[in-house]
Amino acid sequence: MGSLEIALDGVPILVLVGCIVWIVRFNISQQKGERLTLKWRDMDSLRKAVAALIFVWICLNLYLTVGNELAFLNVVVLPLGSVYSIYRPILSWASALSIVGLAVLLSVRFPRRSIVA
């Protein structure tokens, strides 16, 4: 295993650790009341589009991950089976990006309160 492979496998782990720390801090700020809770109908169209795209990305990633594992175990091959050969090497990166997407989705859905002096 070369140093490039170690770096390419290690960077998503650092991204995951960073996002976990951010989500914990996000949860603390929400419990303190520093964040608003936006309902879907209260969001503007840009926030709705970003939230929907991130949600679709996370669902697609979950589908491909489960399908990849089922195909690897020779249980069943789900539709989009031809994508698994491409998807398998980037599985850790895609999972890390899903967690980053979740962090962005949370920040879109729960923005900080504006402080009026």
At 25-56, the pLDDT tens digits run 888 888 888 887 878 888 888 888 988 988 89
Please give the average per-residue pLDDT across 109-114, as a whole number: 77
pLDDT at 36: 79
Report d(CA 23, CA 31) in Å as an integer.
Answer: 12
pLDDT at 96: 81
The domain segmentation of the chain, as residue ranges, is: 3-109
pLDDT at 116: 56
Q: Write out the two tokens for 76.
A: 């069943």
Phi, psi of 107 (to 5 degrees): -70, -30
